[in-house]
Structure 1
Amino acid sequence: MLRSNPYKWWNWLAFVAAMVVNALANTAVLGGKTTGEISDQYPTMITPEGYAFTIWSLIYVLLLGFLLYQSGRVTETRDSVRSIGPWFIISCVLNIAWLLLWQYEYIELSLVAMVLLLLSLFVIYRRTRSIYYPTSGEMWLIKLPFSLYFGWLSVAVILNIAIVLKKNGWNGFGLSELVWAVVFLLAGALIAILVSYPYRDSIYPLVFVWGYVAIALEQQDQVERAFIAALILAIILFVYAIYLFFARSRDRD
């Protein structure tokens, strides 16, 4: 076994770089507008209330926890840590690329970068799910951060697809924007179920619940049926997440 984690300092460097770009994006230094201001230019029926994006703060705090864990003298050589290393670096680079493209309003290209970021997180997620008999550190500082991160990127990709279609004046094959909003919401709920069920991962669908409640609150005064659809799906996914939690506990026993 290697004495140290060869990706340890590269992980730190990539994460710090991503945080710097995030800070610049949210203070309008890049492109003259904040990330939220650009999003507001393309309102859709699945746009959530602004508070939903505060989940990024939790994600980044948990990723910082992962970095501290992978830097520990005892934990840095764990297979669970080293197998993630190169993909974590890739995810940070793609996070930076997505933000830069978004800030300079290359919206379509930013979606491509976001999808690639989602794929890199999917690889990490699969690897975290293959950790058998995880320690408490692996549960809280490896599995949890990447379930949350992968979950929110899944929601964000769906939202950004809607934004790209809105920007380009897509006519929806003659169907109304409301119909497509419901289709997107249903597709997201189906993804949440299909991804999480094999791993009995209750965190992943809970992220969709967070997003869907925020969508419902944003749309309650705009489109009543979009509000109802988002709220009903949020309730269904919440119940499903509770089921997964107890199913996982039962499987352990």
Structure 2
Amino acid sequence: MDRDLLRRLWVTAMAALCVYTTLLGFGVIGTRVEDSSSGVLSADATLLAPGGPAFSIWSLIYVGLAAYTVWQWLPSQWTAERARATGWLAGASMGLNGAWLLVTQVGLIWISVAVIAALVVVLGLLMDRVTAHPAAGTADRVVIDGTFGAYLGWVCVAACANVAAAGVSSGWSVGPFADQLLAVAVLAVAAGVGVLLAKRHGGRLALAAASAWGLAWIAIARLTDQPSSTMVGLAAAVAAALVLGAALAFRGGLLPQRHSTATAR
């Protein structure tokens, strides 16, 4: 079979899996994510859980993934270098997202940590290829740069929340105050990753905005909901500002980029 056709079929099959598992995660044919895994993935289960409205970003990501699936079937994209560079990893990212939803349905929370870590790696590699193959036009930038930038930015924050949920599920705690300090340390790492990604990819706004969105909703949740923590809330707010500020600085040329040819989206 032609490799380009096989790539398109792979993306489409993984998109179909993504649709099915999303219906599971939304509770249409399964258990809602926040109710699965004994509730440790709910918005009020851990110090690093974003507030409920944060998860609305998935609607934007899913629309982008659907658009990408259609885009790569356009005749102009069958043999396009950018489609070839991104297709296999794009399909893998959808498959891993589906796998994450499947394992959380059956309460395998630590397996879900491994899956989301793999998803971060795949999306990181995918964004490297997106940066190495500049967009050909506005539609290309929106469908690929925007979708996968937001996808990576959000999943970086979600991975932190996932690890915290797994720790809670295992009964891990070093005391009320120390738990807050540990959460602040994780947020510092998340902010550092956001800054590094801004440098690596030229301050892509979709990527930074998605990370800042998740961090901001952690801040809102800790300052207005349970478990309450002013320390964690303020740290999350600072982390969100740092990620956005770094993206704007690299985008505006105030700081040197790793890839001088990268164009922020």
Using the TM superposition, give the Cα deviation of residue 43 of structure 1 relative to its aligned residue in structure 2, in angstroms.
Answer: 1.2
Q: TM-score, normalised by structure 1?
A: 0.89
Task: Kindly provide the amino acid, as one letter, of the partner of residue 227 in structure 1.
Answer: G
After TM superposition, the structure 1 = structure 2 runs for residues 8-87 of structure 1, keeping only pairs within 5 Å, are 8-27=8-27, 29-30=29-30, 33-37=31-35, 38=39, 39-40=41-42, 43-87=45-89
Structure 1 residue 71, shift from structure 2 partner? 1.1
Judged with a 3 Å threshold, the aligned counterparts in structure 2 of structure 1 residues 181 and 92 are, in CA distance, closer, same or farther, namely: same
CA distance in 2, matches of 1:109, 1:42: 21
Worse overlay, 16-25 or 165-174 = 165-174
Amino acid at match of 1:218: A
**Distance in 1 (alpha carbons) for counterparts of 2:176 and 2:196:** 29
Tell me the secondary structure at the aligned position of residue 220 of structure 1.
helix
Aligned length: 249
Show structure 1 runs of 5+ residues with no match: none
Structure 2 vs 1, CA of residues 226 and 146 (structure 1 numbering), >3 Å: closer, same or farther?
same
Which residue in 2 is equivalent to 1:179?
A: 181
Query: Which deviates the most, 88-97 or 148-157?
Result: 88-97
Tell me what 1:148 maps to.
Answer: 150
CA distance, structure 1, for counterparts of residue 253 and residue 241 of structure 2:
18
Partner residue, 2:238? 232
Q: Which amino acid in structure 2 is aligned with residue 13 of structure 1?
A: A
CA separation in 2, counterparts of 1:141 and 1:4? 19
**Residue in 1 that maps onto 2:223:** 220
Structure 2 residue ranges without an equivalent (≥5): none
| Aligned partners of 2:187 and 2:236 also within 8 Å | yes
Match of 2:252 in 1: 246
Q: Is the CA contact (8 Å cut-off) linking 1:202 and 1:244 kept in structure 2?
A: no
Partner-residue secondary structure (3-state), 2:48? coil
Equivalent residue number for residue 212 of structure 2: 209
Which string of whole-angstrom CA distances, capped at 9 and with x for unpartnered residues, describes residues 91-126 of structure 1?
A: 222222211110111101111111112222222111
Percent identity between matched residues is 23
The code of the aligned residue for 1:20 comes to: Y
CA shift for structure 1 position 28: 6.0
TM-score relative to the length of structure 2:
0.85
Measure, in 1, the Cα distance between the counterparts of 2:45 and 2:70: 38
Report if the CA contact (8 A) 1:147-1:204 is conserved.
yes
CA RMSD in angstroms comes to 2.5
Name the CA distance, whole Å, in 1 between partners of 2:135 and 2:118. 30
